[in-house]
Structure 1
């Protein structure tokens, strides 16, 4: 067994070969290198694209099939799905309240979207 470096962020997600953040369930797709300096360069490149990123190279052993032994991180939710989910909840509760107060249909504008009921 050898040692490799993978990149892990502050949420417990791993960088894959396509330079996207994944949960690490499929270890075959993870970015890895045997050189620590290459891993540090990858962290620097990712951090320059996203200043809020807190990533670090993680040294780990490989298993018998040469895949890194890492613990899978939490599932990744799309930021857009998360945002839309919150918006829909707020919009629905505001719509319900407005209908109770006026007894009629209302139109609520949120950000750049106009949501009518």
Structure 2
């Protein structure tokens, strides 16, 4: 094994073993593999997390300790300001802030709908059987329905 593959993006950052984008100055923390197909799979997975990245494979030679030797032209001119410690500390300058046009409104009527007022049901009009000739009730007023049994 004389070389390994590492992943770099358009910002001259390198993918670490913990799937973070770091500068390539600490080669011990970099994701690396000797198999190109494994590197391509990792590139695909990293790109699905952030589709704006333009990720490339970089073939690097190994040093005597079997760590990748990153070419100087592949490294950025300055080290990254947002290190993992800075992000963990919650430095608000380093975290991306949402655009004001993307902030949710203070009041969302769809999230808190107004209750629908209850409406009293209108009484059913009383129908006089004499108004409709030929229709008679099935049960005579003085006779109990068949489902009711007599005195026991």
Q: Please state which band the TM-score falls in when normalised by the shorter chain.
A: 0.5 to 0.7
State yes or no: 1:29 paired with 2:29. Answer: yes
Cα RMSD, aligned residues only: 2.6
More helix by share: 1
Alignment of 1:1-117 (within 5 A): 2-70=2-70, 71=72, 72-73=75-76, 74-78=78-82, 81-82=93-94, 111=100
* Greater Cα radius of gyration, structure 1 or 2: 2
Q: How far apart, in 1, do the equivalents of 2:55 and 2:12 lie?
A: 9
Instruction: Give the SS at the match of 1:44.
Output: helix
Task: Determine the C-alpha separation between the residues in 2 that align with 1:18 and 1:36.
Answer: 19
- What's the offset of the Cα at 1:43? 0.7
Offset of residue 57 of structure 1: 1.1
Partners of 1:18 and 1:24 in 2: CA distance: 14
Deviation digits for residues 43-102 of structure 1 (CA, Å, limit 9, x no counterpart): 100111111010111111001111100034342234952578xxxxxxxxxxxxxxxxxx
SS in 1 for 2:34: coil
How far is 1:2 from its partner? 1.0
In the alignment, the residues of structure 2 paired with residue 39 and residue 68 of structure 1 have an alpha-carbon distance, to the nearest angstrom, of 14
Q: Which has the higher contact order (CA 8 A, sep 6+)?
A: 1
Higher strand share: 1
Q: Structure 1 length as normaliser, TM-score?
A: 0.65
Displaced runs of 4 or more, over 6 A = none
Paired residues in the alignment total: 88
